[in-house]
Amino acid sequence: MADRETTENIFPRNPKKSYGLMELVKGQGFQTKKQPEDTVFVWPHLLYVELIAATVFLAGLLWVCTFKHAPLEAMASADTTPNPMKAPWYFLGLQELLVFFDPWLAGMVLPVLMIVGLMAIPYLDINPKGVGYWAWKERPFAIWTFNFGFLIWWIFIIIGVYFRGLDWAWYWPWDDWTVHKVASGATLNDFNVILEGWGMGAVAANWSTYIMILVYFAVFLIFPAILWRRFSKALGVARYIIVWGLFAAMMLSPVKVFLRLAFNIKYFMVTPWFKL
């Protein structure tokens, strides 16, 4: 330990604070760029603000619950099935995914990947900068990736709430929501069927879709290593594969929506176990 004189010379006591540094310990600390006089206690400086924010949020929530009740539909009847049958708004993102993906993927695989991906973020993020504060410039990939995925999820919810009507068809706000539309599934085809219509054999068409999916994931696993070499090298092999594999899986949602809306492709790849 350093003596008191050395301590006071390096970190002079601030007369405006009621506390100060007592001793110095040799070795490197966790906050090498922070001086003790630049720090504050968690209580009351941080927790006091968090307590006020939590109180204001709780008061607003109670006010909304008191004067704005949850909407209720008519009494359930065994003779009549609601059309469309919509889940609560916070589940409509999953219900909207059922339009574009196989039920097993939309209801099981994708939600599990979302949860596992969020849980894995602390173990995959190796950037030491911007820890404990909001830093767009210091961790752009992590922040922009999360916000992009979050935006996609809210877009699916908004579509399910405001643009899905009878038979889960697409209805604009100015359409007549009491008139049934032609089922969109009647005009959709699997991509292997489209390839067969172009003159390709059934086996070759199926294998072509498998190869295209492999190429899709290969692009996300190869090009980042070329474009962002330093970032990719810092991740390591295992983290690199997991990060870009999850990113490729997340990008499947907008890609699948684009293929459905632009080219009427129902499933891009059909296997005996699932459809993508």
pLDDT in tens, 184-228: 656 788 888 888 888 888 888 889 999 999 999 999 889 988 888
169 contacts 181 by C-beta, under 8 angstroms: yes
In a domain, 189, yes or no: yes
Which tens digits make up the pLDDT trace of 237-260? 888 999 998 899 888 888 888 888
Q: Is the pTM of this model over 0.95?
A: no
In a domain, 149, yes or no: yes
Whether pLDDT at 61 is above 50: yes
Q: Which residue has the tokens 């492709």?
A: 265
Whether pLDDT at 34 is above 70: no
Whether pLDDT at 135 is above 80: no
In a domain, 199, yes or no: yes
When mean pLDDT is compared across 19-28, 39-48, 88-97, 183-192, the lowest value belongs to: 19-28
> Could you tell me the pLDDT band of residue 26, with boundaries at 50, 70 and 90?
low
pLDDT of the residue at 218: 92
Range of the domain at 253: 102-263
Q: How far apart are CA 240 and CA 174, in angstroms?
A: 47
Q: How far apart are CA 63 and CA 270, in angstroms?
A: 50
In a domain, 205, yes or no: yes
Whether pLDDT at 30 is above 90: no
In a domain, 206, yes or no: yes
In a domain, 7, yes or no: no
When mean pLDDT is compared across 30-39, 112-121, 179-188, 219-228, the lowest value belongs to: 30-39
Q: How far is CA 261 from the centre of its chain?
A: 22
Whether pLDDT at 151 is above 60: yes
Residue 102: helix, strand or coil by DSSP? coil
Number of structural domains found in the chain: 1
pLDDT of the residue at 35: 58
Q: What is the CA radius of gyration of the chain?
A: 27
In a domain, 61, yes or no: no
Beta bridge partners of 270: 275
In a domain, 9, yes or no: no
Whether pLDDT at 109 is above 90: no
Report the sign of the C-alpha dihedral through residues 234, 116, 273, 186, in that order: negative
pLDDT of the residue at 1: 47
